[in-house]
Amino acid sequence: MSNEPFDPDSPWHHLFKTNDYAGIIEHASTKDCNDDTESLYLGIAYYKTSQWHLANTIFDDLYARNPHPEIAVYRIISRIKYGDIDEAMQAYQLLCDQQNPIIHNYLINQNTQAALEHILLLAAIPLNLSPPHTQPTGLLDMLHTYQYNKLAQKLLATQPHQ
Q: What does the pLDDT average to over 138-155?
A: 89
Residue 11, CA distances (Å) to 14, 20, 57 in order = 5, 11, 23
**Domain shared by 37 and 115, yes or no:** no
Separation between Cα atoms, residue 138 and residue 22, nearest integer Å = 46
pLDDT the model gives residue 3: 39
Q: Specify the pTM.
A: 0.80
**Cα Rg, the chain, nearest whole Å:** 18
Is residue 132 included in any domain, yes or no?
yes
Separation between Cα atoms, residue 39 and residue 28, nearest integer Å = 9
Evaluate if residue 98 carries a pLDDT over 70: yes
Q: What is the CATH number of the domain that holds 43?
A: 1.25.40
**Domain shared by 103 and 149, yes or no:** yes
Domain end, chosen from 36, 56, 83, is at 83
DSSP per position, 54-98: HHHHHHHHHHHH---HHHHHHHHHHHHHHT-HHHHHHHHHHHHHH
